[in-house]
């Protein structure tokens, strides 16, 4: 059986970018549908980062999906860099008048999915063989199969929010694409555990044994990471081995000892900087990881997706409300300007805080000198603070 229906915006991908875009459009009465490959449970089970920029929390408040965020989000007024000489606290509140919020991406995704039915936002989970068609025509469409039936969605626009492995990028011809990539020679080994955090704020530590991050999800749930060689295998890392490393990396930096407990989740993820410089082609617009990847060092993945979606939603709303095409025509330029500034910030922190294989003594001295300069420079601390809390949308 073939089913064909029309909508205004077909959104491919039901992660943070697709979900947030769907809600922003629905809040303005624009018809849209999200086509998601995975099950709802799979999408909601993903463990990702957990720091929201002020602009991202503003978007959640704009659509009124902020009740749990307000109740459970943890205000981050400061950011700490751990160095061999001690902590450098960057007073985000004093330097920017703003703050970041610790609230897991998992929770954001869950809130957006829970709110979808009441807002008339349709999410098709377990859609298979998703394909984009005629994206450079006035009648683009998305096809997929579900429960053995073929489906076709005809739309005015397609939003490619399908992450770094989705089909949207492939719908754009190579002649329209420029790609930039930097793969880092290490990964992050992460652990999530129901133990109280070792510090009240995040600590990004660079020790003579490498990078470590102390983060959190709540007063009783912690998230930690250490850099590891790309050759490391998860099966070689029982939780106790990681707790031992974290003890050493945060000794003398954190205000409390590292509390230990069983891992709720452990994973190793590579680090990459990547930009796919074709965020608009015909009636197709890319947003989020479909267009770019940042290393997690700046906690920017979700926030950059949210910024893309804020720009794209406002452009689509202007098109439907006032017939104004300028936002859509200017989307790629506006989004990429922020993408590159965010890529630079994430790259900068990654280069500053990690030990690169065979980096030599000189680069380490440059890292230490940079940290020493940051420690004494309000201007540098303000620059880091304003980028961490998020540049204005
Ligand atoms: N068809 C439909 N959906 C697809 C397909 C496909 N062929 N391929 C991928 N998807 C879905 C994925 O299952 C996922 O739910 O697209 C969604 C993309 O979501 P994300 O990868 O989370 O990307 P995005 O929404 O841009 O959010 C970026 O999420 O993964 C983190 O680190 C990333 O923090 C960043 C944030
Ligand atoms: C997290 O809490 O998972 C987290 C925090 C900051 C980062 C990356 C991840 O830079």
DSSP string covering 239-272, please? Answer: HHHHHHHHHHHHTTTSSSPPPP--EEEEEEEEEE
Please say whether the beta carbons of 243 and 118 come within 8 A. no
* C-alpha–C-alpha distance, residues 111 and 87, integer Å: 35
Map residue 316 onto helix, strand or coil. helix
Alpha-carbon distance 38 to 35, whole Å? 9
Is the C-beta atom of 223 inside 6 A of ligand 2?
A: yes
Residue 279, by phi and psi: left (phi above 0), alpha (psi -120 to 50) or beta? alpha
Residue from 52, 102, 299, 350 whose mutation best tests the ligand 2 pocket (most atoms within 8 A of CB): 299
Considering the entire predicted model, what is its pTM?
A: 0.97
Kindly indicate the confidence band of residue 47, based on its pLDDT and cuts at 50, 70 and 90: confident
Q: What is the pLDDT of residues 351-368, one digit of tens each?
A: 999 999 989 999 999 999
Residue 82 CA, ligand 1 centroid: distance in Å? 32
Q: What are the start and end residues of each CATH 3.50.50.60 domain in the chain?
A: 2-74+100-181+272-349
Among residues 177, 175, 185, which one has the least CA distance to residue 273?
185
pLDDT-derived band of residue 178, with 50, 70 and 90 as boundaries? very high
DSSP 235: G
d(CA 316, CA 297): 32
Q: State what percent of residues in the chain have pLDDT above 70.
A: 100
* CA 125 to ligand 1 center in whole angstroms: 13
User: Residue 99's pLDDT is what?
Assistant: 97
The whole-angstrom separation of Cα 258 and Cα 134 is: 55
CA of 233 to the centre of ligand 1 (A): 24
Query: pLDDT value at position 151?
Result: 97
168 touches 162 (CB < 8 A): yes
Q: Mention the CATH class of domain 184-271+353-389.
A: alpha beta
Q: Partners of 188 in the beta sheet? A: 227, 269
Give the pLDDT confidence score for residue 3 in this predicted structure: 83
Q: Average pLDDT of 194-219? A: 96
Residue 134 has pLDDT above 70, yes or no: yes
Architecture of domain 2-74+100-181+272-349: 3-Layer(bba) Sandwich (3.50)
Atom of ligand 1 nearest to the CA of 13: 16
- pLDDT reading at 2 higher than 80: no
The closest ligand to the CA of 292 turns out to be 1
Between the CA of 286 and the centroid of ligand 1 the distance, in Å, is 12
* 74 touches ligand 2 (CB under 6 Å): no
Ligand 2 atom closest to the Cα of residue 217 is 2
pLDDT in tens, 141-161: 999 999 999 999 999 999 999
Helix axis angle for 360-376 and 326-353, nearest 10°, is 110
User: Ligand 2 centroid to 128 CA: how many Å?
Assistant: 31
CA distance 369 to 365: 6
Distance 332 CA to ligand 1 centre (A): 19
Cβ pair 168, 38 in contact under 8 A: no
Would the pLDDT of 265 be above 80?
Answer: yes
Distance between CA atoms of residues 197 and 217, nearest Å: 9
Nearest ligand to the CA atom of 287: 1
Which residue owns the Cα nearest ligand 2 atom 4?
49
Per-residue model confidence (pLDDT) at position 208: 86
pLDDT of 8 higher than 90: yes
d(C-alpha 24, C-alpha 63), whole Å: 7
Residue 15: helix, strand or coil by DSSP?
coil
- Residue ranges of the chain that CATH labels 3.30.9.10: 184-271+353-389
Burial tier of 120 (Cβ tally within 10 Å: 0-12, 13-18, 19+): exposed
Residue ID of nearest Cα to ligand 1 atom 15: 15
Residue nearest to atom 10 of ligand 1 (CA): 162
Nearest residue to 13 via CA among 148, 147, 164, 155: 164
pLDDT mean across residues, the chain: 97
Residue in 166, 168, 271 to alter for ligand 1 test, most ligand atoms within 8 A of Cβ: 166
Q: Tell me: pLDDT of 1 over 70.
A: no
């Amino acid at each position: 059986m073939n089913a064909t229906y029309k909508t205004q915006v077909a959104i491919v991908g039901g992660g943070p970018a697709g979900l947030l875009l769907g809600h922003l459009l629905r809040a303005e009465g624009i018809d849209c549908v999200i086509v998601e490959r995975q099950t709802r449970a799979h999408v909601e089970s993903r463990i990702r980062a957990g720091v929201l920029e002020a602009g991202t929390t503003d978007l959640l408040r704009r659509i009124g999906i902020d009740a749990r965020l307000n109740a459970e989000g943890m205000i981050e007024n400061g950011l700490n860099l751990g160095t061999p000489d001690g902590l450098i606290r960057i007073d985000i509140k004093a330097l920017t008048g703003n703050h970041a919020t610790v609230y897991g991406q998992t929770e954001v995704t869950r809130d957006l999915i829970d709110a979808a039915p009441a807002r008339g936002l349709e999410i098709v989970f377990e859609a298979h063989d998703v394909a984009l068609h005629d994206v450079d025509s006035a009648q683009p469409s998305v096809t997929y199969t579900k429960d053995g039936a073929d489906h076709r969605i005809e739309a005015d626009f397609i939003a490619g929010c399908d992450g770094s492995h989705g089909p949207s990028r492939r719908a754009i011809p190579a002649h329209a694409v420029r790609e930039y990539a930097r793969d880092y020679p290490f990964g992050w080994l992460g652990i999530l555990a129901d133990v109280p955090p070792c510090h009240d704020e995040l600590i990004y530590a660079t020790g003579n044994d490498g990078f470590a991050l102390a983060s959190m999800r709540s007063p009783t749930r912690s998230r930690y990471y250490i850099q590891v060689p790309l050759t490391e295998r998860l099966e070689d890392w029982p939780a106790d081995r990681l707790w031992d490393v974290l003890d050493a990396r945060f000794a003398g930096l954190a205000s409390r000892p590292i509390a230990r407990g069983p891992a709720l989740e452990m994973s190793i993820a590579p680090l990459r900087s990547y930009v796919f410089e074709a965020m608009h082609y015909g009636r197709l617009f890319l947003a989020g990881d479909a267009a770019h990847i940042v290393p997690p060092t700046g906690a920017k993945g979700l926030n950059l997706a949210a910024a893309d979606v804020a720009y794209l939603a406002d452009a689509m709303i202007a098109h439907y409300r006032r017939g104004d095409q300028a936002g859509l025509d200017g989307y790629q330029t506006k989004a990429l300007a922020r993408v590159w500034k965010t890529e630079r910030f994430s790259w900068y922190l990654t280069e500053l805080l990690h030990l690169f294989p065979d980096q030599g003594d000189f680069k380490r001295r440059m890292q230490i000198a940079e940290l020493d300069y940051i420690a004494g420079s309000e201007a540098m601390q303000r620059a880091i603070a304003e980028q961490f809390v998020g540049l204005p949308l």
